[in-house]
Amino acid sequence: MTQEELFKKLIAHCKEYGFIFPSSEIYDGLSAVYDYGQMGVELKNNIKRYWWDSMTKLHDNIVGIDAAIFMHPRVWEASGHVGAFNDPLIDNKDSKKRYRADVLLEDWLAKQDEKIEKEIEKGRKRFKENFDEAQFRATNPRVLELQARRDEIDARMVKALNENDLEGLRQIIIDAEIVCPISGTRNWTEVRQFNLMFDTKIGSVAEGANTIYLRPETAQGIFVNFLNVQKTGRMKLPFGIAQIGKAFRNEIVARQFIFRMREFEQMEMQFFVRPGEELGWFAKWKETRMNWHRALGFGDDSYRFHDHEKLAHYANAATDIEYRFPFGFKEVEGIHSRTNFDLSRHEEFSGKKIRYFDPETNESYIPYVIETSIGVDRMVLQVLSAGYKEEKLENGEERVVLAIPAPLAPVKAAILPLVKKDGLPEVAHRIKDMLKYDFNVQYDEKDSIGKRYRRQDAIGTPFCITVDHQTLEDNTVTVRERDTMEQHRIAIDELPALVKSQAGMRALLDKQSITR
Ligand code: GAP
C-alpha cells in the first residue's frame, strides 16, 4: 500500500469511528474546517492535557492563561499581522485555480529532490557495495545538473520572498516551467499579496462598529498579559506563560486533511528571559520539546529539526520540529527566539511601559522571549498516522488497530461481559462504575467477543476487560492488551492500578527528562 493510499484509509477511518468529520457535512462541508467527534475530542483533550501538564506541572516557573479570541485591533498592527501576515497568491487563467506562489515553488523543489533521490537509487543499484553516495553526488553529471538548477531556483525564491518581490516570484515560476496541475498550462496572472486574517465587526452599526480580527495566533494574548501575570504571580525571570486556544487563518491552499485548517488550535508558550541569555534558552527548549515528542514512542527517526536559514527580521534563531507524516516530513512545532520584538512593539503602540524590574541587577528592561508553538490538530494527525496499522493475524484474519500511546487513548478500557446473562453484565457494570471516575471507560455487550475486540482495537483502547463465569467464582477477569493481544487473568481489585500505571498521564510525563 502506498503512503497516499494509507493516508486515504486513515481519513476514512477517522470518519467511520467518530474521530473527525468534515464541518457542516450535511451541507457538503466547509473547506479546510473539521469537527471532532466523540473519539476525536477525547484524543484531542488528552493531547492538550499532555502538553499542559508538561508545561505547567513539570516546570515550577511556567503558568497558564486563557485570553480572549477577540483582541483590540491595534494588537495586530503592533504585532505586524495587519501589514505583513500575507500569502503571495497567483491564479491560473485557464483553470481559474488560485495557488500560493511559494507553495508552487516548494512543490517544484520537492520534485527536484525526488528526482535526485531516484538517480542516487539507480547508482546504488548499479554500483552495489562499492557505492559511495557522497562521491556520486559530487560527480554524477545528471545529479549535478539537477542540484544546480534546484539550488538556483531555491536561492531566487528565498531572495524574492525576503524582498517581497512579487514580480520576481512570478518570473521564477515561469522560469521553472511550472504548470497548473489542473489545466496543464503556464498561463499565470500577476502575484498578489493576500492577508490571512479573518475580520468581523464588533458593536452595532448605530454605535459605530469597529473592525476586529479573529486571532491568527494565540501568542499575542500572552504578550499583552505579560505584566498582569508577572505582577500578580510575582514571577521572576526566567518564567513562561502557556496558553491553548483557537486560532484562525484564511488559508488559501487547504490540503492534507487537518494539517492545514482555517480554524485550528494552538498550544503556545512564551518563555521570558534576560537579554543575552536567549540563545542558551533556545537550545534548551529545542531539547525539551524534542523530548516531549519522542516520549510518545513513534521512533526517534520520525522527527527532525529544520533550522531556519531565512529568519524573520525580529528573530535571532528559529527551528521547526518536523514529523514524518505519510505525505513527508512536515512542521508540527515552531521554536523561535523572538528577541524583545513583540513586547517592544506593544510598548510603542499602547504607550504603556512593559518593563521587568530585575531585583538582581537593579535594572528595568524589556525581556527577551523564546516561543514554542505547536498545532493541536497537527499533533492529532501525528498520533493518528503513527498509530494506524493494518495487521494480518496468525489465524488469517485482519485487524485495524490504533496503536497510540495508552495515556492519549480516547477510551482506556472496555468492560465486556462474555455473555448477556448469568449475572455477568451486573459484574461488568460494577467494574465500570469502579473505574469511570478516573478513566474514560466503555461497557459493551453487543456481538461476539472477537467483534468487540476489533471495535476497541479500531479506536485504540489499550485494555479489554472480559467478565466470564470464572469471575463469579474468584473475582478475577481476563485483561487483553491491545498491541500484543495477549491475555492474562488478574483480580478485579488490581484493575485501577493496572490502568493507571499504563494509561494514566503520569506514564507519559515520566518519560520526559526535564532538567531545570
Ligand atoms: N506564534 C507563532 C506561530 O503562530 P506558526 O508557525 O505560524 O507560528 C505555529 O504556527 C504552529 O501552529 C505550527 O507549527 C502548526 O503546528 C500550527 N498551525 C499553523 N497554521 C496552521 C493551520 N492552518 N492549520 C493547522 N495548524 C496550523
Q: What is the pTM of this model?
A: 0.89
With 80 as the cut, is the pLDDT of residue 204 above it? no
Which residue's CA is the nearest one to ligand 1's atom 16?
375
Quote the percentage of the chain above a pLDDT of 90: 89
Q: Which of 241, 266, 269 to mutate to test the pocket of ligand 1 (most atoms within 8 A of CB)?
A: 266
**pLDDT (tens digit per residue) in 415-437:** 999 999 999 999 999 999 999 99
Nearest residue to 229 (alpha-carbon basis) of 56, 412, 447, 348: 56
**pLDDT (tens digit per residue) in 153-183:** 999 998 998 888 999 999 999 999 999 999 9
Across the range 272-281, mean pLDDT stands at 97
Which residue's CA is the nearest one to ligand 1's atom 20?
260
Distance between CA atoms of residues 413 and 404, nearest Å: 14
Nearest residue to 427 (alpha-carbon basis) of 443, 407, 409: 443
Given the CA of residue 379, which atom of ligand 1 is nearest to it? 16
- Ligand 1 site residues (CB inside 6 A) read 217, 219, 249, 251, 260-261, 264, 266, 268, 331-334, 371, 373-375, 377-378
Which residue's CA is the nearest one to ligand 1's atom 21?
260
CA 371 / ligand 1 centre spacing (Å):
12
pLDDT for the residue numbered 296: 96
Distance between CA atoms of residues 256 and 331, nearest Å: 13
**pLDDT (tens digit per residue) in 8-41:** 999 999 999 999 999 999 999 999 999 999 999 9
CA 269 / ligand 1 centre spacing (Å):
13
Nearest residue to 243 (alpha-carbon basis) of 76, 370, 56, 378: 56
CA 73 / ligand 1 centre spacing (Å):
21
CB 162 within 8 A of CB 59: no
With 80 as the cut, is the pLDDT of residue 458 above it? yes
**pLDDT (tens digit per residue) in 285-342:** 999 999 999 999 999 999 999 999 878 888 999 999 999 999 889 999 999 999 999 9
- Cell output for 437: 471516575
Strand partners, 466: 416, 478
**In the 3-class helix/strand/coil scheme, how is 276-288 assigned residue by residue?**
CCHHHHHHHHHHH
Identify the band that residue 514 occupies on the pLDDT scale cut at 50, 70 and 90. low
CB 245 within 8 A of CB 265: yes
Mean pLDDT of all residues belonging to the chain: 94
Identify the band that residue 209 occupies on the pLDDT scale cut at 50, 70 and 90. low
With 70 as the cut, is the pLDDT of residue 207 above it? no
- Cell output for 238: 526566567
CA 443 / ligand 1 centre spacing (Å):
38
With 60 as the cut, is the pLDDT of residue 83 above it? yes
Given the CA of residue 332, which atom of ligand 1 is nearest to it? 16
Asked if the bond preceding 238 is cis, omega within 30° of 0, the reply is: yes
Distances (CA, A) of 458 to 63, 184, 292, 409, 476: 36, 41, 25, 11, 26
Which residue's CA is the nearest one to ligand 1's atom 10?
373
CA 332 / ligand 1 centre spacing (Å):
8
For the chain, state the CA radius of gyration.
27
Across the range 260-279, mean pLDDT stands at 97
Distances (CA, A) of 47 to 25, 38, 265, 325, 464: 25, 15, 12, 17, 22
**pLDDT (tens digit per residue) in 50-72:** 999 999 999 999 999 999 999 99
Residue 430, CA atoms < 13 Å, CB-side half-sphere: 12
With 50 as the cut, is the pLDDT of residue 485 above it? yes
Strand partners, 242: 64, 269
pLDDT for the residue numbered 395: 85
Which residue's CA is the nearest one to ligand 1's atom 9?
373
Residue 371 sits at the vertex; the CA angle it makes with 387 and 340, to the nearest 5 degrees, is 170
CA 138 / ligand 1 centre spacing (Å):
37
Q: φ, ψ for residue 49 (rounded to 5)?
A: -65, -40
CB 197 within 8 A of CB 75: no
CA 216 / ligand 1 centre spacing (Å):
9
**pLDDT (tens digit per residue) in 375-389:** 999 999 999 999 999
Distances (CA, A) of 350 to 73, 74, 260, 272: 11, 8, 33, 20
**pLDDT (tens digit per residue) in 104-156:** 998 999 899 999 999 999 999 999 999 999 999 999 999 999 999 999 999 99
Identify the band that residue 512 occupies on the pLDDT scale cut at 50, 70 and 90. confident
Given the CA of residue 331, which atom of ligand 1 is nearest to it? 14
CA 359 / ligand 1 centre spacing (Å):
36
CA 374 / ligand 1 centre spacing (Å):
6
Q: Which of 71, 262, 373 to mutate to test the pocket of ligand 1 (most atoms within 8 A of CB)?
A: 373
Q: φ, ψ for residue 466 (rounded to 5)?
A: -105, 130
Identify the band that residue 516 occupies on the pLDDT scale cut at 50, 70 and 90. very low
